[in-house]
Amino acid sequence: MSTNYDQIAKEYQASKLQPWRTHIERYTLLRLARSVAGLRVLDLACGEGYYTRLLRRLGAAAVTGVDLSQGMIELARAQELAEPLGVRYEAGDAQKVDQQQSNDLVFAAYLLNYAKDYDELLAMCQAIARSLKPGGRFVTVNNHPGDPPENFETGRMYGYSKKLEGPLVEGAPIHWSFHLADQTIEVTNYYLTKATMERAMTAAGLRDIRWHCAEVSPEGVAQMGDAHWQPFLRQPPIVFVECGG
Ligand SMILES: C[S@@+](CC[C@H](N)C(=O)[O-])C[C@H]1O[C@@H](n2cnc3c(N)ncnc32)[C@H](O)[C@@H]1O
């Protein structure tokens, strides 16, 4: 069953404070996004606006966040109200978005792994492609299709674990648990192969697909030591992709 983010919006926000999120996820994504100064950006599956706010603070000229969960969008809007940045938030399905070639960058942290099959993935990629200006770029992070189930407990030392439901076939649910100080929250996404992801991106007209490994920020190494990050880097649970529109 799909995760109901309305019910865990606040707790999901807390999971973004885990050090691997900052020192690996955020660091690698922002490196791939490069300079966003002056760009029009669409943040798909924006959640409560973690990256949406960050992209605007980094100088993006206009940023819109879209998310399926009304609860997440309400949380994002509450933060915009408390500290206005000029970010727009809309509740909606990323598969149906059409921003008519108006964005320099489409950014999506954990969207594609919510597609349960090729058709849903294709619809997402088509929405991304039609929302990009010619020459625009797409940057994303998702569950790593090459992360083997026998590695799914390695993440406990970083505050998460994964669990596969059933055999590792296309569309199989993968349950991520985030072990927070006072509770554990679970979100479910879906297994899709690298080949399926490339096929959908290509069919949608996205070009120059480049897969990137997770990287650790220099601050992360300074704070926690190189050895701390090695199990994560040896078999990363997430993978990054950039491509052109
Ligand atoms: C793991 S959260 C990531 C949120 C945010 N990008 C971040 O990194 O903090 C995944 C988000 O994807 C959203 N989502 C799932 N399917 C979606 C869809 N078809 N269209 C838009 N948002 C979707 C969920 O509501 C949830 O907020």
Residue type, 95: Q
Contacts 24+ apart (CB under 8 A), 167-171: 170/117, 170/118, 170/196, 171/116, 171/117
Q: Does residue 209 carry a pLDDT above 90?
A: yes
Contacts 24+ apart (CB under 8 A), 160-167: 160/15, 160/18, 160/20, 160/237, 162/237, 164/191
| d(CA 69, ligand 1 centre) in Å | 7
Residue 94 CA to its chain's centroid (Å): 13
Question: Does the beta carbon of 95 sit less than 6 angstroms from any atom of ligand 1?
Answer: yes
Structural domains in the chain?
A: 5-143+193-216+237-244 (3.40.50.150)
| d(CA 81, ligand 1 centre) in Å | 21
User: Which ligand 1 atom is nearest residue 94's CA?
Assistant: 20
As a whole number, the mean pLDDT across the chain is 96
User: Which ligand 1 atom is nearest residue 93's CA?
Assistant: 20
DSSP 3-state assignment of 59?
A: coil
Question: Does the beta carbon of 160 sit less than 6 angstroms from any atom of ligand 1?
Answer: no
Determine phi and psi for 197, rounding to 5 degrees. -65, -45
| d(CA 222, ligand 1 centre) in Å | 31
Number of helices (H), then strands (E), in the chain: 9, 10
**For the chain, how many residues are written?**
245
- Predicted confidence (pLDDT) per residue in 114-154, tens digit: 999 999 999 999 999 999 999 999 999 999 999 999 999 99
- Predicted confidence (pLDDT) per residue in 37-81, tens digit: 999 999 999 999 999 999 999 999 999 999 999 999 999 999 999
**CA distance readout (Å), 48 to 13, 72, 88, 99:** 7, 5, 12, 21
| d(CA 226, ligand 1 centre) in Å | 31
Q: State both tokens at 184.
A: 């554990």
Percentage of the chain modeled with pLDDT above 90: 93
**Dihedral Cα 46, 50, 56, 60, nearest 10 deg:** -50
Beta strands at 173-179 and 207-212: parallel, antiparallel or unpaired: unpaired
Protein residue with least CA distance to atom 11, ligand 1: 45
- Predicted confidence (pLDDT) per residue in 80-97, tens digit: 999 999 999 999 999 999
Q: Residue 1: which pLDDT band, with cuts at 50, 70 and 90?
A: low
Nearest Cα to Cα of residue 140 among 198, 187, 69, 86: 198
Q: Decide: 105 and 133 in contact? Cβ < 8 Å.
A: no
pTM of the model: 0.97
Longest dimension (CA), the chain: 47
Average pLDDT over residues 190-215: 98
